[in-house]
Amino acid sequence: MGEDHYFSADPSAPFEREAFTCEVWGHELRLVSGSGVFSRGHLDHATAVLFRETEPPTPGRLLDLGCGYGVIGLAIARAVPEASVTAVDVNERALLLARENAAALGLADRFTATTPDRVPTDATYDEIWSNPPIRIGKQALHELLLSWLPRLAPGGRAVMVVGKNLGADSLQRWLGEQGWPTERLASAKGFRVLETRRAG
């Protein structure tokens, strides 16, 4: 695989689309994934646990952080008609697929997929949902979270799924130490579902 990762801005792998269908919160989603994008051709185990262990968020402004082909943000937009979803990723191929999926599902009016640098600096969110890119490394992950968590509106929350063997418990402790109280909502199949709250 070399340096060609799903978190590369422009994966070099030949672009091949692959469709699949999954059910989330009682809604069927037909999605198209692709080569060079995380979890090609199926719903990854971590995100499946996230969906299974949670209820859809309340209406508001939502951020899908590290969106890939858009499954989390699109599931929210489908389940919560009043939600407005911004999805961010550094992988341009993933963003292309996310936009195509939003259009195919009829959700493009409430789902925007873009690179992080194109999000207005004053944008805030009621909730952030993420299967964060743990494999970018601890320091990069910490920087990522500390750059986006402050965008939570007062009283807002972030919901994340992290593998126990990939440091979920230490991440939970670290977030608390940084002033972001984090609780474990669920633990299943080797994954933790974490909820981080913004005070106020």
Overall average pLDDT of the 118-144 stretch: 94
pLDDT at 35 over 70: no
Q: Give the pLDDT score at 2.
A: 35
The amino acid present at 91, given as its one-letter code, is N
Q: Give the pLDDT score at 13.
A: 59
Return the higher-pLDDT residue of 36 and 146.
146
pLDDT at 132 over 60: yes
Q: Give the pLDDT score at 23.
A: 94
Average pLDDT, the chain: 90
> How does residue 200 score in pLDDT terms, banded at 50, 70 and 90?
low
- Please, what is the angle between helix 71-79 and helix 92-104, to 10°? 20
pLDDT at 6 over 90: no
Q: How far apart are CA 101 and CA 98, in angstroms?
A: 5
Residues 6+ apart with CB under 8 A from 142: 174
Overall average pLDDT of the 124-137 stretch: 93
Q: What is the pTM of this model?
A: 0.91
Q: CB 8: neighbour CB atoms within 10 A?
A: 16
Q: Are 55 and 167 in contact (CB under 8 A)?
A: no
Token couple for 104: 């195919």
> How does residue 10 score in pLDDT terms, banded at 50, 70 and 90?
low
pLDDT at 187 over 50: yes
Domains and CATH numbers, the chain: 17-197 (3.40.50.150)
Q: Give the pLDDT score at 40.
A: 62
Q: Give the pLDDT score at 55.
A: 97
Give the sign of the dihedral formed by CA 102, CA 107, CA 109, CA 112.
Answer: negative
CA distances 104 to 31, 101, 128, 196, Å, are 9, 5, 24, 32
Overall average pLDDT of the 59-77 stretch: 96
pLDDT at 8 over 60: no
The residue written with tokens 């990762």 in the block is 5
Q: Give the pLDDT score at 136.
A: 87
